[in-house]
Amino acid sequence: MLVGQLTGERVQTIWLPPLPAAVTLDAVTGPVGVTGDGMRASARVAPLRVPVGLLDDPRRQWQGRWDLDLTAAGGHIAIIGGPQTGKTTLLRTLVLSLALTHSPAQVAVYGVDLVGGGLQALAGLPNVGGVAGRADRERVRRTVEEVLGMLDHRQEVFRLHGIDSVAGLRRLHAAGRVPELACADVVLVIDGFGALRDDFEEIDEPVSDLLQRGSGYGIHVVAGMLRWNDVRIAMQSNFGQRVELRLNDPTDSAVDRKLAETIAADLPGRALTDGRLFGHVALPRFDGVPDTDDLGGVVEAVARAVRASWTGPAAPPVRVLPHRLPAAALPGPARMPDAVPLGVDERALEPVGLDLFDQDQNLIVLGDGGCGKTNLLRLVAEGLVGRYSPEEVVFAVMDPRRRLREVVPEPYLGGYAGSARPAAGLSVGVAKELEARMPDSDSAEGRWSGGPRVVVLVDDYDLLTTAGQQPLEPFVPFVPSGRDIGLHFVVARRVAGAARGLYEPLLLAVRETGAAVLLMSGDRSEGQLFPPLYPAPQPPGRGFWIQRGGTPRLIQTAVAEAQPDAPQPDAPKPAGGVPVPGPEGGR
């Protein structure tokens, strides 16, 4: 009765109820529905502030939406926690929340999943340009290189437009004044950051570069890891924000050891922010069902629904080299009259050409069996035949396995040798022709003044030089003057034994004079044949293109068209002014 007579406001409770053990993303962002701008959450958020869960601030007697701010403290975020504590769930929630609050023109996301494949379910989102799994090393490397290429491009855009900050970039991009960029911000999500140093060292340095330079150009790295020490000490300061889930050893906490000890093992998703506040990660779903059963399938369905509602352009996809490239897809003589297109490079997917008679002068191809060396020699020969007449170029072919017999048409063929002894005879015959072209010769001109360029096409060079034989040694004195006398070499050999074989007289002279190199599939045990590159297993046709003074580029060579059989001559005969000695000198 007395209680019923009391009036006035209820006394505020001292403690708010604890954070829930599970919550869905729509409970944080508000209802999700289809709008004129695709599927969107109803919550209003500032640019690059991403709702990811609920946050508890007991000092302020407040619980509410937890946002991760990609504009604060450099924009890089480290998510740290032991196994099965919710790291992948937080990354999924972050990416899905970005897709529900930002368009692909505002933010593009690229994922590298080095753990268990949990990020693959996000690949269908329009904001996601690609997710690379641990098993696909090529796509992992390409994803990081693609983002690094975006960073380099942004540096140039900042210079051209006089942009002085990321905020300025966002304003100009929203106004449509930076058409060079598909999106204002880019987020690289890495699950399993600790695997970089141990298993993916080829992308460790590029990721470090992104951490150092990316924040000033709208490139953000969000990384999930088991412990803070997975990040190199020199790089730790680049992560301006940290989120700690339950740690295996609370003493590893970089936020607060005592608070880290209070996170229970049976509460995956409970997190400690670097502001010493507890939060709980929302599940990446917006159906109101706080359940983790078949969460991967739910995320895939959510991603498909978001993609189906989006009608604009999606995030630019990660570009990867094709595994088979037909020669017909490369530019013809009209578009590349001086260079022979060999394939496409990985970064720009633009044609890569061999300028044998000017810039490159020679070509050395290294690769073990089945990598595509012979196909490349066929491609070079066909490209030269298609661009020059028999009066401009002639071939001396040395082919121990006899796989190039029908490649060079008869008018272009100066000589053919299928073993070491005929190759030595052919070398002597061609050397006599070259002697007349030398500047100090007794010819009337005293210098090469005409006649076709000589291309020495050698396949399986290592087979010709077995047992100490050097059938191409007569060429060695003429290699330094090759540019002046019209002498060029296209030589292929195995990677096995190349550490020693590259110092044989002919190859050493060719390398010192100037040569482009294609390093294809091989064994790493051969060492750094061309520092800093080690041979490595590669798909057929894949290799590193190395030109003097340039940066090595990974390329995919094209597949040459097979030529119809040509009639064999009864006897050897000269072509293009080059003598053809020996029993195998003709075709």
How buried is residue 91: exposed, middle or buried, by Cβ count under 10 Å (0-12/13-18/19+)?
Answer: buried
Q: Are 347 and 372 in contact (CB under 8 A)?
A: no
- Is 218 labelled a binding residue? no
Query: What is the rounded CA–CA span in Å between residue 551 and residue 543?
Result: 13
Closest CA to 493 of 352, 337, 367, 361: 367
- 151 touches 219 (CB < 8 A): yes
Residue 87, annotated as binding a ligand: yes
SS3 per residue for 238-290: CCCEEEECCCCCHHHCCCCHHHHHCCCCCCCCEEEECCCCEEEECECCCCCCC
Q: Is 448 helix (H, G, I), strand (E, B) or coil?
A: coil
- 570 in helix, strand or coil? coil
- 392 burial (CB, 10 Å; 0-12 / 13-18 / 19+) is middle
Residues in the chain: 587
Residue pair 580/395 in contact by the 8 Å Cβ criterion: no
The reply to whether 372 sits in an annotated binding site is yes
| Type of residue found at 476 | V
The 8 Å CB, 24+ separation contacts for 9-17 are: 12/61, 15/58, 16/56, 16/58, 16/61, 16/62, 16/63
The Cα-based distances of 446 to 16, 393, 483, 577 in angstroms read 99, 21, 16, 18
84 is in an annotated binding site: yes
Q: How far is CA 449 from CA 24, 375, 433, 482, 579, in A?
A: 81, 33, 13, 14, 18
Parallel, antiparallel, or unpaired: how do β-strands 49-57 and 278-281 relate? Answer: antiparallel
d(Cα 397, Cα 124) in Å, to the nearest integer? 52
Q: Is 369 annotated as a binding residue?
A: yes
Tokens 């509460």 — which residue?
267
Does residue 516 contact residue 480 with C-beta atoms inside 8 Å?
Answer: no
DSSP 575: B
DSSP 8-state secondary structure symbol assigned to residue 307: H
User: Residue 400 corresponds to which tokens in the numbers above?
Assistant: 């121990």
183 labelled ligand-binding: no
Does the annotation place 81 within a ligand binding site?
yes
Between CA 391 and CA 575 the distance in angstroms is 9
The answer to the question of whether 129 is labelled as a binding residue is: no
Residues 6+ apart with CB under 8 A from 151: 209, 210, 213, 214, 217, 219
Q: How far apart are CA 86 and CA 283, in angstroms?
A: 10
Residue 59 phi/psi, 5-degree rounding, is -65, -35
| 373 annotated among ligand-binding-site residues | yes
Task: Determine the Cα–Cα distance for residues 15 and 435; give it in Å rounded to an integer.
Answer: 98
Residue 466 annotated as part of some ligand binding site: no
368 known ligand binder: yes
Torsion angle of the four alpha carbons 36, 41, 42, 44, in this order, in degrees rounded to the nearest 10: -100
Give, as one character, the DSSP assignment of residue 437. Answer: T
Q: Which pairing describes strands 516-519 and 542-546: parallel, antiparallel, or unpaired? A: antiparallel
| Residue 355 labelled as part of a binding site | no
71 is in an annotated binding site: no
DSSP letter (8 states) at residue 224: E
Residues whose CB falls within 8 Å of the CB of residue 508, separated by 6 or more in sequence, listed in order: 502
Annotated binding-site residue numbers: 81-88, 367-374
Binding-site residue ranges for ATP: 81-88, 367-374
